[in-house]
Amino acid sequence: MKPQLPKLVEDYVRATNNHDAVSFIALFAADAVVDDIGREFRGLDAINAWSDREIFDVQVTLDVIGCTSRDGETVVTAKADGTFDRTGLPDPLILAHHVVIKDDKIVRLRCRLAGEDAST
Domain boundaries, the chain: 7-113
User: Contact 93/87 with Cβ under 8 angstroms?
Assistant: no
* H-helix or E-strand spanning residue 46: helix 43-51
pLDDT of residue 119: 54
Distance of alpha carbon 26 from alpha carbon 62, whole angstroms: 19
pLDDT of res. 115: 81
pTM over 0.85: yes
Angular region, 47: left φ>0, alpha ψ -120 to 50, beta rest: alpha
- At CA 116, angle to CA 71 and CA 15, rounded to 5? 70
Number of Cβ within a 10 Å radius of residue 48: 17
Q: What's residue 117's pLDDT?
A: 60
Residue-by-residue pLDDT tens, the chain, 120 positions: 678 899 999 999 999 999 999 999 999 999 999 999 999 999 999 999 999 999 999 999 999 999 999 999 999 999 999 999 999 999 999 999 999 999 999 999 999 999 876 554
Cα separations (Å) of 76 from 46, 63, 87? Answer: 23, 10, 24
CATH architecture of structural domain 7-113: Roll (3.10)
pLDDT of residue 1: 63
